[in-house]
Structure 1
Amino acid sequence: MRDTIDRADRASMLLLMASGLSIVSYVFVGILLFALAASLIVVGLGMLPETVLLLRKLAGIKRRQVGEWSGRRIPEAYTPLTGTLVERVRKAVKDPGTYRDLRWLVLHFFYGLLLLYVALPLWVIGALVDGVWCGLLRRRAVVLPLIVRLAALDARWSRALLKPSPDAERNAELAERVEELTVTRAGAVAAHGAELRRIERDLHDGTQARLVSLSMRVGLARRAYDKQVAAAPGAEAPDPDVVRRLLDDAQDQAEEALTELRHVVRGIHPPILTDRGLVGAVRALAASSGLEVAVRDDGVEGGPRAPAAVEAAAYFVMAEALTNAAKHSGARRAEVELARAATGLRILVRDEGRGGADESGGTGLLGMRRRVAALDGTMEVVSPAGGPTLIGVELPCVW
């Protein structure tokens, strides 16, 4: 019953918005007629493209309402109104989407108000049954489905009027896909550039500096050794402890440089992924994260492995998520789940910290999103104030 009431409430909201758009469409028809009249006398020619753009916004509002109600979006297919004034007017007049929106606008004015008039008595009956006769009558079980059916009727009619032709729909989906790929490509290029700068910075500030220091210490030790060998009989020889200390320092510097190099290599592609696989690498990552991390595997370990790029992206995403949880969330425990899906690899990282993670507050989440987008994946962050924080990632791949 609770689900029925919630759906009826959403249906009522859809019908109210439909009636509001019907009233707006009545006003907008007058604006459109005025724009057409002004365009005929040339003086108001510039009003026509702007009026068409406003019409597109109204139709877009209805598309979003129907999409939220039904769970299926209505694609848009318009000719961009660019160029000179004459070109914009010509495109606005020749665009099939303009006439499709006009048809919807005129018809919606009638059926939107009609559905409202039918829904009004149902709302009154529902209110009376709720407030007065709830314990005596059960008519509400009939009223609510009727309201839902009216909303479904409005959504079905609006979809039929606003949906573009199959060719236009395919072109719109293709254009949307190209735009999405353009954005993800820019993000991938930015992420790649940031990764190269990080590697360069690590090599310059860490490994290179240690190798320079190592070279200096080896040089000093060699000079001290040569001086001792070349010392004349009876002359004071250098202290062997000094040479020993210089050699010890050189060895320490060599080991630190090797450590820095291993760190850089792990930042490019962690060798542990090759050795243990993704699940084993994540378990090792969880053990060293500083948190109590429960790792759950749903069919990833033991089966065919994902491509190396997908495994590397998944590993870095989980590493960044656990690092953020340890540094900023205040949580002591976290959960990591890896699941094999028909479309690819799914990841869920959850911590019971304070929440409030904000992508605009730093580069960690943004870098994760760019890395995922570079592989055409999706990432969702849910982090209300007070927690918990959930990061869900899906990386497409063929198993």
Structure 2
Amino acid sequence: MRERLRREGRATRHLLRSAGLALASSLFLAVLVFTAVATATVIGAGVLPETVLLLRRFAGITRHEVEKRTGEAVPESYVPLTGPLSVRVRSALKDPGTYRDLRWLAAHFLYGLLLAYGAVLLWIVGLCVDGVWCAVLGRRAVVLPLIGRLADRDAAWSRALLEPSADARRSDELAERVAELTATRAGAVAAHGAELRRIERDLHDGTQARLVALSMRVGLAKRAYDTDPDAARKLLDDAQDQVEEALTELRHVVRGIHPPILTDRGLVGAVRALAAGSGLEAEVCEDGVEGGARAPAAVEAAAYFVVAESLTNAAKHSGSRRATVELVRTRRALEITVRDEGRGGAEESGGSGLLGMRRRVAALDGTVRVTSPVGGPTVIEVELPCVW
């Protein structure tokens, strides 16, 4: 009986809060009338978006109460009220969510108070009837359980009135997807621009400068060839050294565009080469990646970049001498996990290359998750969608 009273007490509190919102909605009706008159006069049209936002807050409170009662969230679907006043007014008037909330407000004013009054009446009757029924006859309560049903009915009606239609949910999902793709495209363009600037800088400051110096040394060697063969030979030796240095820098630039080692050894072999040259005791584990069908070139290049950037960050900033790299092939994705046992505290704003990594992965519709509490460990988890 005690547990029954507690349970029905929670149901009653839900109904009383619902009744409180219903009473508040009666006051809100005056606000709606004022808004309608102000909007009709055009001068007070600025009141309309604010009133709609207040209405959304009322509906949001009810959604929260329904979620507490049922354990399931009530989705919402609204057009953002942003921009100039004329745009916000049109958005508020054209938003189906506005009329859905108004319909809920009118209905809730009736059933919210009615169910709350019913709960109070059931308490009065239930304490008398169920008290005798349970205490004297030892039977189960029959009146008080009806309070919980009233609370469930209130939650069900509110959910039915506030929940957007399937078309509205699909429209919201499409809008979110468009916004996500717009941000992803902007990130990919920014990453591409940064990569082009890096290649241009490397070619201009490194390879081009060495080739100019090489041309000058060859010219000096040609002039000195007849008069001073030893000096010419030394100049040619220096020129050969500069050719080798220029070739090394060109390989570095080409590796940044698409590492040739990926073509030669595949992703696992390329990652093992990265681990061997990282300066860390890096262990590479793979599950289903080596020996099977290869991922698309763009996916392999992004995975290679993720591992290279992660190992570089670990060697420079973590203070750890050990790292692990795991490559896992799933049915629809390639998963990469890089972990080091260093000091942690990695941040995208810290210039550690995490932002570039995130942009490159986002361009392929992938996801990046960085876990790096202070004190470590740092774990970078990347999932790249992939059709094998």
Counterpart of 2:198 in structure 1 is 198
**1:169-188 correspondence to structure 2 within 5 Å:** 169-188=169-188
Question: How far apart in 2 are the matches of 1:347 and 1:99?
Answer: 47
- 1:271 maps to amino acid: P
Structure 2 residue 278 is matched with structure 1 residue 278: no
State the 1:62 CA deviation: 7.3
Gaps of 5+ in 1: 1-11, 119-149, 229-237
Counterpart of 2:236 in structure 1 is 247
Instruction: Tell me if structure 2 keeps the 8 A contact 1:188–1:370.
Output: yes
Counterpart of 2:212 in structure 1 is 212
- 1:173 maps to amino acid: E
Question: How far apart in 2 are the matches of 1:153 and 1:336?
Answer: 54
* TM-score, L = length of structure 1: 0.74
Structure 2 residue 37 is matched with structure 1 residue 40: yes
Structure 2 residue 100 is matched with structure 1 residue 100: yes
Secondary structure of residue in 2 paired with 1:302: coil
Question: How far apart in 1 are the matches of 2:332 and 2:204?
Answer: 41
Question: How far apart in 2 are the matches of 1:298 and 1:291?
Answer: 22
Structure 2 residue 65 is matched with structure 1 residue 76: no
State the 1:53 CA deviation: 2.5
**1:1-399 correspondence to structure 2 within 5 Å:** 27=24, 30-31=27-28, 33-41=30-38, 42=41, 44-56=44-56, 59=59, 74=75, 76-78=77-79, 84-85=85-86, 88-103=88-103, 110=112, 160-226=160-226, 228=227, 238=228, 240-362=229-351, 364-399=353-388
State the 1:95 CA deviation: 2.4
Aligned residues: 341
Question: How far apart in 1 are the matches of 2:329 and 2:81?
Answer: 41
Counterpart of 1:232 in structure 2 is none
State the 1:194 CA deviation: 0.3
State the 1:50 CA deviation: 1.4
| 1:330-378: CA deviation from partner (whole Å, max 9, x where unpaired) | 1111111111112211111111111111112226000000000111111
Percent of residue pairs bearing the same amino acid type: 69
Instruction: Tell me if structure 2 keeps the 8 A contact 1:352–1:387.
Output: yes
Instruction: Tell me if structure 2 keeps the 8 A contact 1:350–1:391.
Output: yes
Distance 1:292 1:24, change over 3 A: farther
- 2:217 maps to amino acid: R
State the 1:74 CA deviation: 2.9
Counterpart of 1:137 in structure 2 is none
Distance 1:105 1:35, change over 3 A: closer
What's the RMSD between the two structures over aligned residues? Answer: 3.7
State the 1:392 CA deviation: 1.0
State the 1:215 CA deviation: 0.6
Distance 1:363 1:34, change over 3 A: same
- Deviates further, 288-297 or 255-264: 288-297
Question: How far apart in 2 are the matches of 1:243 and 1:358?
Answer: 54
Question: How far apart in 2 are the matches of 1:16 and 1:177?
Answer: 39
Distance 1:255 1:187, change over 3 A: same
